[in-house]
Amino acid sequence: MKKSKNLKVAIVMGSQSDFKTMKLSANILKKIGVQFETKIISAHRTPKRMYEFAESASRNNIGVIIAGAGGSAHLPGMISAITSIPVLGVPVESKKLKGLDSLLSIAQMPKGIPVGTLAIGEDGAINAALLAAAIIANSNPAVKKKLNNWRSSQTRSVKKNPK
Ligand code: RP5
């Protein structure tokens, strides 16, 4: 196994249309200095790509996978079925059911194969990145420092009184 300090995050999504949500995960990881890669991988449109990605993720030094998908969102669960790397699922807001379908598809995994499920849409994408950074930070002091700085800065930004 390679040194844990080199572990990176993979942000994968079912469609190009998910990127407007999932780029918020990328923005946070950039700010915190976590190495990452982004890919479009669809469980139903590109199943072979999904299998090959998940099966090789550990060899490719990926420490956390953020998977965003909408509708019948089986991508996070399918990836988690193939690799034991932690998978964080982001339910992308769908047009018809506003992401409730995505949320339930990702959250309601039967026991045995876990997916850590975040909130629907942009909040979920941002929190998935913060959670991924926190997992990477366990074995990477530089990331831990930057994550704590980011949180302190957020705290300082909250005004005491409304205007
Ligand atoms: C899912 O279907 C994707 O994750 C996306 O959220 C949704 C719609 O995809 P497009 O039809 O916009 O490509 O697979």
92 lines ligand 1 (CB under 6 A): yes
Centroid of ligand 1 to alpha carbon of 69 (angstroms): 7
Alpha carbon distance 85, 105 (integer Å): 20
Crossing angle of helices 19-32 and 141-156, in 10° steps, is 110
Q: What angle do CA 97, 120, 149 make, to 5 degrees?
A: 165
pLDDT band at 108 (very low <50, low <70, confident <90, very high): very high
Q: What is the mean pLDDT of residues 42-53?
A: 98
Judged against a pLDDT cut of 70, whether residue 14 lies above it is answered with yes
Q: What is the pLDDT of residue 38?
A: 98
Ligand 1 nearest-atom number relative to CA 94: 6
- Given a contact cutoff of 8 angstroms between Cβ atoms, the answer to whether 39 and 53 are in contact is yes
Judged against a pLDDT cut of 80, whether residue 36 lies above it is answered with yes
Over residues 60-100, the pLDDT tens digits come to 999 999 999 999 999 999 999 999 999 999 999 999 999 99
The protein residue with its alpha carbon nearest to ligand 1, atom 5, reads 70
